[in-house]
Amino acid sequence: MKTLLAVAAIAVAAVTFGPAAAQPAAPIQMWRLDCGEIQVSNLDVFSDTFAYVGQKKTLTDSCYLIRHGENYLLWDSGLPGELAGKTAPPSGPFTMSLKARVTDQLARIGVRPEQVNFVGISHNHDDHLGQAADFPKATLLIGSEDYEATAKGPSAARLAPWIKGGTKVEKIDRDHDVFGDGSVVILDMPGHTHGHQSLLVRLPRTGPVLLTGDLYHFTENMRRHGMPSFNVDRSDTLGSFDRFDTIARNLKARVIIQHEPDDVAKLPAFPQAAN
């Protein structure tokens, strides 16, 4: 009888304190933000096999705010904020413009910069880390090699709050579960840069969403597995293509190519959120 009672007590404890009694999943929402526009006069820079000779295209530059309970992650930070309301002079085949800073967009939904707990950077190009310094209290989540390269390079000012010290940096070398419950996971996808990352967000109603970073730049580029001429490692990129596509199939995920206007339109227009 004592043994039975002990077993019963353990069972009760397991129900009370174990996984079955875990706290309800934190509410998750995701907003897409307009972080700029890029006119490309020579689309063939996105192919090392001459796939887009003579073609032009307008790309978007999108960022994302994810709310997890009371916490916020900003994924990518767009073109430099000083471009707001302006169009920059052409830089090679690229002409970039920005309508509004990320902070001004977040103000529309009542989110202040100091409320953003994490800034996740897919990679260290200026159209993705341009406004990161507007969130100096946030923990920076970035590929370790991309962080080190930026700290020594011409874009170091974009990450000044973290390079100067006093603000936390998590340098990531593999997949990273941001909130510890599998709902928001940074995926290691090297090749475009050495520390390039994509993002998996599991929304309660929409289901799994995969944000590419710059693994892909537009739909045709994804279909052909086009290799931008400026990627740092061809073999790593091909491996990341395969991994990303397999994850998308296995999870039946909604893929958002962050520079593709048609893909960005798969999510609600700001200030509405995807749930």
The pLDDT tens digits for 51-107 are 999 999 999 999 999 999 999 999 999 999 999 999 999 999 999 999 999 999 999
pLDDT of residue 26: 85
pLDDT of residue 23: 43
Distances in Å between the alpha carbon of 46 and those of 57, 81, 94, 197, 228?
Answer: 11, 25, 12, 18, 4
Q: Which of 29, 24, 25, 26 is nearest to 275 (CA)?
A: 29
Q: Which domains does the chain have, with CATH numbers?
A: 24-264 (3.60.15.10)
pLDDT of residue 39: 98
pLDDT (tens digit per residue) in 159-179: 999 999 889 999 999 999 999
- Burial class of residue 178 (count of CB atoms within 10 Å of its CB; 0-12, 13-18, 19+): buried
pLDDT per residue rounded down to tens, the chain (275 residues): 333 333 333 333 333 323 333 344 789 999 999 999 999 999 999 999 999 999 999 999 999 999 999 999 999 999 999 999 999 999 999 999 999 999 999 999 999 999 999 999 999 999 999 999 999 999 999 999 999 999 999 999 999 999 998 899 999 999 999 999 999 999 999 999 999 999 999 999 999 999 999 999 999 999 999 999 999 999 999 999 999 999 999 999 999 999 999 998 899 999 999 99
pLDDT of residue 238: 98
Alpha-carbon gap, residue 259 to 256, rounded angstroms? 9
pLDDT of residue 10: 34
Alpha-carbon gap, residue 117 to 138, rounded angstroms? 5
Buried b (16+ CB within 10 A) or exposed e, 15-47: eeeeeeeeeeeeebbbbbbbbbbbebeebbbbb
Alpha-carbon gap, residue 102 to 206, rounded angstroms? 24
Residue 4 is classified by DSSP as H
Contact call for residues 133 and 153 (beta carbons, < 8 A):
no
